[in-house]
Chains A and B, each alone.
Chain A
Amino acid sequence: MAEIAWALGKILFMLVFVFTVLVVMIWGERKGSAFIQDRIGPNRASIGGVIRLGGLVHPVADVLKLLFKEDLVPGAVNRFFYTMAPFVVMVIALVTFAVLPFGDAIYLGDKVIPLRIADLDVGILYLLAITSLSVYGIVLAGWASNNKYTFLGGIRSTAQMISYEINMGLAVLALLLVYGSTRVDAMVVEQGQLLFGFLPRWGVFLQPLGFVLFLTSVFAETNRTPFDLAEGESELVSGYNIEYSSMKFALFFMAEYASMIVAAGFISSLYFGGWQVPWLDTITLREHAGTFLGVSLWVGAVFNLLFAALLWKRYRRERGLLGDRRELEPLVLGIVFFILALVCLGAVVIASPWNLGEQGAAHFATVVQVLSFILKTLFFSWLFIWVRWTLPRFRYDQLMKLGWQLMLPLGLLNFFVTAAVVLLAR
């Protein structure tokens, strides 16, 4: 019974995590592009005319808007596949999270609870298998819509995704040689050690070329700029999803971001130590849990006070400038930060010797590790946005040339060299 509860809890955690990061990512995409292009970006949507959070309310407003939109279905579509396609894309994007470890195993008495949804031995094979299925959603959407643009978008996208899948597979093969296991959690555990005594033993240091290949193929697999030829606005308007509207379009849109979050999670798990905090392994974290907690509470208190003070200053400065309730936002947020600062200070005073006990220390270590995983994933999610608004799109022949004539030989070379190094270092 408890096991089922834990399994459900982990699934719910993952779903909440994905959808939260999804909202943040859509916000980051719009605000980040505004930042890169020197604009202000979205800032109008608000809760009660007060809380705007710098545009963070916009993704919610977007979803609500799409919920209420009429669903335009062209007359000549293949209804079954047309309706199925957004489901396929969305479900596959979500299900890939199943093998992603987000923390070290929890020990409750004599029970071990691994912090990932499914404790599969095939691990990385599951990743390769499921991501390759997402081609189906796109090709179905493109074909069933009965439209030239969607058809071309679907075909292009398929050729691109299958081409780069090989490169992804080769990069992963080299990783398997290094770690000798298909389990993602085993890989993450190995990355907790140190390399040459000072570098974290992360995949990116063991497999620099493999990392570049993996990153590039992941960008191509998620159909992101500079590889978004499936969409290519100037040629295909929007590619395979032109004929979709309302919630079906929203599903495509969310799936695109969800698959980016998956990709970010796997980049951080395979090459950047996943939930490992660099230089701090689980045992150290547990031993010094009290100290770390105290320090982080102090830091939290100071930063919250600082934010509160800045917001108060801003409120004083901007009062009377807008002439409506929007002015109250810095005040409201400032009060929130002030309360948070008080909570931190209170916790410091109450739990002064910071003796957490063994169980508490273990839980503290888990929380820190999950936060580390979330931070890394957020960073790589931001990388996707960053790259999109920095690099222009490839031409299709350049894409194929890069995939088949540069990355495939490089991937094979990387694999060969890795095997040779393993052979010589045995």
Chain B
Amino acid sequence: MQLHFATVFVFLALAVGFAVIAMVISWALRPKKPGTVKESPYECGEQPEGSPWIRFNVRFYLIALFFIVFDVEVVFLLPWAVVFKEMLAVLGSFAFWEMVIFIAILLVGLAYVWGKGDLAWVKGLPPRDEEDLEALSWYESGRFSTDRRSVHTSAKPEGV
């Protein structure tokens, strides 16, 4: 077994070696003529505007939190899944129901975040009137159809 992990490390070393060799060859061959324009951050050819440390959506943090919860769930289920068949022989259907209870607890969590609307990426102000609702349903349907007929019949709502 140790030998097999050793081979993984040999493989790792060879992979790193490949990348390093490629970089060294390129370093030896390429021209090196730095300049102020070349060193400026790329912003489609414009002068960079403001700091690159821009604010980003807080929902990315939420996604990270959910990831941890559900990934830990997967990790907990892994050993159970591997020995499930042997466990059935010993414990009978209890082995199955035990897992069902575990998943059900997590499903409650999923239902909670779902119900709170934390899984929905598009979060605007609540719809005010009929027109807003129509616009919202159009937006959420995800049908930006290229089909000619539908483009003609369903008028695109204003302000979307």
CB-based contact B30/A75 at 8 Å = no
Give chain A residues whose Cβ lies under 8 Å from the Cβ of B78. 125, 173, 176, 182
Tell me the complex Cα distance, A395–B30, Å. 39
Tell me the complex Cα distance, A386–B153, Å. 33
Is B108 among interface residues, defined by CB-CB distance under 8 A?
Answer: no
Instruction: Choose the segment among A159-167, A277-285, A375-383 that binds chain B (4+ C-beta atoms closer than 8 Å).
Output: A159-167
CB-based contact A90/B81 at 8 Å = no
CB-based contact A119/B74 at 8 Å = no
Is B71 among interface residues, defined by CB-CB distance under 8 A?
Answer: yes
Is A404 among interface residues, defined by CB-CB distance under 8 A?
Answer: yes
CB-based contact A159/B41 at 8 Å = no
From B5, B16, B27, A120 is in contact (CB under 8 Å) with B5
Give chain A residues whose Cβ lies under 8 Å from the Cβ of B96. 419-420, 423
CB-based contact A246/B30 at 8 Å = yes
CB-based contact B43/A147 at 8 Å = yes
Given A163-B63, A180-B82, A243-B41, A91–B74 Cβ distance below 8 Å?
no
Is B150 among interface residues, defined by CB-CB distance under 8 A?
Answer: no
- Interface membership of chain A positions 151-172, coded 1 if the CB is closer than 8 angstroms to chain B and 0 otherwise: 1100100110011011001100
Given A146-B41, A247-B23, A118–B8 Cβ distance below 8 Å?
yes
Is B138 among interface residues, defined by CB-CB distance under 8 A?
Answer: no
Tell me the complex Cα distance, A251–B142, Å. 36
Is A62 among interface residues, defined by CB-CB distance under 8 A?
Answer: no
B20 to chain A, nearest CB (A): 8
Chain B interface extent, by class: 35 or more
From A94, A400, A412, A415, B63 is in contact (CB under 8 Å) with A400
Tell me the complex Cα distance, A10–B88, Å. 39
Interface residue count for A (Cβ, 8 Å)?
81
Tell me the complex Cα distance, A420–B7, Å. 39
B5 to chain A, nearest CB (A): 7
B83 to chain A, nearest CB (A): 8
From B30, B43, B67, B83, A162 is in contact (CB under 8 Å) with B67
Interface of A is mostly: helix
From B1, B8, B70, B88, A98 is in contact (CB under 8 Å) with B8
CB-based contact A400/B70 at 8 Å = no
Tell me the complex Cα distance, A237–B45, Å. 12
Tell me the complex Cα distance, A147–B44, Å. 11
Give chain A residues whose Cβ lies under 8 Å from the Cβ of B29. 67-68
Closest residue to A77 on the B side, CB-wise? B41
Is B19 among interface residues, defined by CB-CB distance under 8 A?
Answer: yes
Give chain B residues whose Cβ lies under 8 Å from the Cβ of A91. 12, 15-16, 19
B30 to chain A, nearest CB (A): 5
Within 8 A of A (CB), among B13-66: 14-16, 18-20, 22-23, 25-27, 29-34, 36, 38-44, 52-54, 56, 60, 63-64, 66
Closest residue to A87 on the B side, CB-wise? B19
From B38, B53, B70, B107, A72 is in contact (CB under 8 Å) with B38
Is A335 among interface residues, defined by CB-CB distance under 8 A?
Answer: no
From B42, B60, B64, B85, A426 is in contact (CB under 8 Å) with B85
Give chain B residues whose Cβ lies under 8 Å from the Cβ of A117. 7-8, 11
Given A159-B63, A419-B99, A177–B7 Cβ distance below 8 Å?
no
Known: A91-B16, A242-B42, A423-B96. 18 other contacts (CB 8 A): A11-B11, A74-B41, A91-B19, A95-B15, A117-B7, A118-B7, A125-B78, A147-B42, A151-B56, A166-B67, A176-B81, A180-B83, A181-B82, A246-B30, A247-B26, A398-B142, A404-B119, A409-B110
